[in-house]
Amino acid sequence: MEELGSIRFVDFEKAHFDGILEVERESFPDPFTRETFEQFLKEENVFIVALEKEKVVGYILATIFQEKAEVVSVAVKNCKRGMGVGYNLFKRLEQRLKELGVSKLFLEVRVSNKAAQKLYAKLGFKQVSTIKSYYADGEDALLMSKELMPLPL
């Protein structure tokens, strides 16, 4: 378990579900449901939760297939944005993925979500392509990816 001030980062447990769904609803116009998350949990994954006083303030979920991983969802409560929570969630995710032998991480982001794009660029993600009408409301997505350097032996 690692910390960022009063925020600690832990592996997902079922007790976190309600808090994750609350952050999800606050963060997205078309939030995932509990059932959607449960489907992703059936796949190989890394799911990290940011807690402050045992309340969920953020999370990141990535699914793994072979040497690649996709960030399925990442969100931080509005009141905690800009404080390094998202950045730290990604750094912890990357470390875990490297330990699992993953060499490439990718994600999709709304073309209108400039704040997220700025964070992803800071983290070293590069834009690969645009996916037309990716989201339910018809908005396009940017496909971004990042090579993960292997851990030293």
Q: What is the mean pLDDT of each run of 10 residues along the chain (153 residues)?
A: 82 96 94 94 96 96 96 96 95 96 96 95 97 95 94 68
Q: DSSP letters of 121-143?
A: HHTT-EEEEEETT-STTS--EEE
Domain that includes residue 18, residue range? 2-105
pLDDT at 29: 86
Asked, for residue 6, whether it belongs to a domain, the answer is yes
| Cβ atoms < 10 Å from Cβ of 124 | 15
Q: Which long-range contacts (CB under 8 A, 24 or more apart) does 134-137 make?
A: 134/108, 135/30, 135/110, 136/30, 137/29, 137/30
Number of domains in the chain: 1
pTM over 0.85: yes
pLDDT at 30: 87
Residue 101 sits in a domain whose CATH number is 3.40.630.30
Phi-psi region of 116 (alpha: psi -120 to 50; beta: other; left: phi over 0): alpha
